[in-house]
Amino acid sequence: MPSVCFYFEVHQPYRLKPYGALQVGQDHEYFDSKLNGQVFRKVADKCYLPANESMLRLIERTDGRFRISYAVTGVAIEQMKQYAPEVMNSFVRLAKTGAVEFIAETYYHSLAALYDKDEYKAQIDLEVDLIRSEFGQTPRVFRNTELIYDDEIGQFISDLGFDAILIEGADDILDWRSPNFVYRVPGRETRLLTKNYRLSDDIAFRFSNRAWAEFPLTADKFAKWVHQHSGAGDVINLFMDYETFGEHQWRETGIFDFLEHLPDLLFTHPHWDILTPGQVIERYPALGDLSFHRTVSWADEARDISAWRGNAMQQRALAEIYALGTDVKRRNNSHLLALWRRLQTSDHFYYMATKSASDAEVHDYFSPYEGPYDAFIHYMNVLKDLNLSVLGPLEKRIPA
């Protein structure tokens, strides 16, 4: 009996304000709270509130046979409480349906996995605690920032005791294998659920693309594509940004109608059902080990980490923020620690990407700045001020 597994990522960064060189030493407020509030409320109205309503309705209508999973970053939950508490309430209602599973990730949606493993663990612990306190669930399944994954990360997450990890079903890694089975971290019991990127991206990226041969995508058509996999797979993993519903794909595209009809159409085939990641690994055995010879993510054409550290600016910015870790922690100041961690959010580095063609369009879409150079300048000025105004005074007190 094959299954469909939905997972949605909910994240909003703390965007930096345009921070010029002349502000260094003067201005210690780094984030654009006006913009962040505006963006959050806009996305709440266009996506979070109506999409949560749809999900609740679908769960009720199907008596909980429609099931979904979310990862909601800590920084998204903080902003939710601050800017749109009604969104927080609706997520809590979803959590109570019993048909919704919450997935763990890093609280700050950071790249700590690649730079600082202690910090990485600390941010995962923070997120797990948050999910537990806000939604009353203890996550068993993990997804790393932007599905960044390799064998080393797999071992690390396995050591932390998670039962499964969500990853990108990259062609070169899967090779001859299908993404529609459960795999295993080599030598471990930890399961790997691989995103079916063709079917996922049909919804997330291509849904409203009039140049696409399959446009318009109806729920009926999509359900048929899923059903074509009958007998040739255990689970179709549909992983995407939650903002797909109403924000990346506007309401006018018909995305909410699509969502409304999809579950019933999936259920028209008597063999198919819908499970959460935790249920998937209970039901389906792992087919074998899946080893990663490179670091994979779900971003850009390259499906690698070049979206965040593909150029010299990104590498410098990342190296500098993580180099501050020791200093920051020595200070033993929770505000400073949170500030440093907010600066680790991967979006800051994503805005600095200098990619071409279609990748650039996606980066530009998300960026609040005029381009990668401004993003880098603002970020480095903030670090300069942090060093000068906050960490500097500490240095003076430490004898050479």
- Which sequence positions are flagged as catalytic? 146
Among 235, 262, 380, 391, binds another protein (CB under 8 A): 380
63, 93, 112, 341, 378 from 332: Cα distances, Å: 49, 36, 19, 14, 26
Q: Which tokens sit at 44?
A: 């709440």
User: How buried is 251 (Cβ within 10 angstroms: 0-12 exposed, 13-18 middle, 19+ buried)?
Assistant: middle
Spatial CA neighbour of 281 closest among 111, 166, 146: 166
Choice between 187 and 392, CB closer to another protein: 392
The distance of closest approach from Cβ of residue 19 to another protein in the complex, given in angstroms and rounded to an integer, is 9
User: Among 66-74, 118-126, 313-321, 333-341, which window interacts with another protein (CB under 8 A)?
Assistant: 313-321
Interface with another protein, residue 316, by CB under 8 A: yes
User: Binder to another protein among 53, 361, 370, 395 (CB under 8 A)?
Assistant: 370
Candidate residues 16, 170, 313, 386; the one interacting with another protein per rule CB under 8 A: 313
Residues 6+ apart with CB under 8 A from 14: 31, 36, 75, 79, 342, 345
Q: Which of residues 276-305 bind another protein (CB under 8 A)?
A: none
Query: CA 203, CA 398: separation in Å to the nearest integer?
Result: 55
Q: How far is the CB of 287 from another protein (least distance, A)?
A: 42
Best CA proximity match to 242, nearest among 39, 387, 55 = 55
Return the residue matching tokens 């970053």: 73
**For the window 20-49, what string marks contact with another protein as x by the rule CB under 8 A?**
xxx-x-------------------------
Sequence-distant (6+) residues with CB within 8 A of 16 are 30, 31, 32, 348, 378, 379, 382
Q: At its nearest, how many Å lie between another protein and the CB of residue 309?
A: 12
Rounded least distance, CB 365 to another protein, Å: 15
Question: Partners of 69 in the beta sheet?
Answer: 7, 101
Query: Can residue 260 be called a binding residue for another protein (CB under 8 A)?
Result: no
Instruction: Kindly determine how many residues on this chain lie close enough to bind another protein according to the rule CB under 8 A.
Output: 20
Kindly list the distances between the CA atom of residue 322 and the CA atoms of 132, 177, 327, 348, 382, in Å, as whole numbers in the listed order.
28, 37, 10, 14, 14
Which of 232, 312, 323, 388 binds another protein (CB under 8 A)? It is 312
Query: Which positions ≥6 away from 38 have C-beta within 8 Å?
Result: none
Binding another protein (rule: CB under 8 A), the pick from 52, 73, 345, 381 is: 381
Tell me which residues in 317-356 interact with another protein (CB under 8 A).
354
Q: Which residues contact 63 (CB under 8 A, 6 or more apart)?
A: none
Nearer to another protein, 227 or 316 (CB): 316
Stretch that binds another protein, among 116-124, 167-175, 243-251, 312-320 (CB under 8 A): 312-320
Q: Give residues in contact with another protein (CB under 8 A).
A: 18, 20-22, 24, 311-313, 315-316, 354, 370-374, 376-377, 380-381
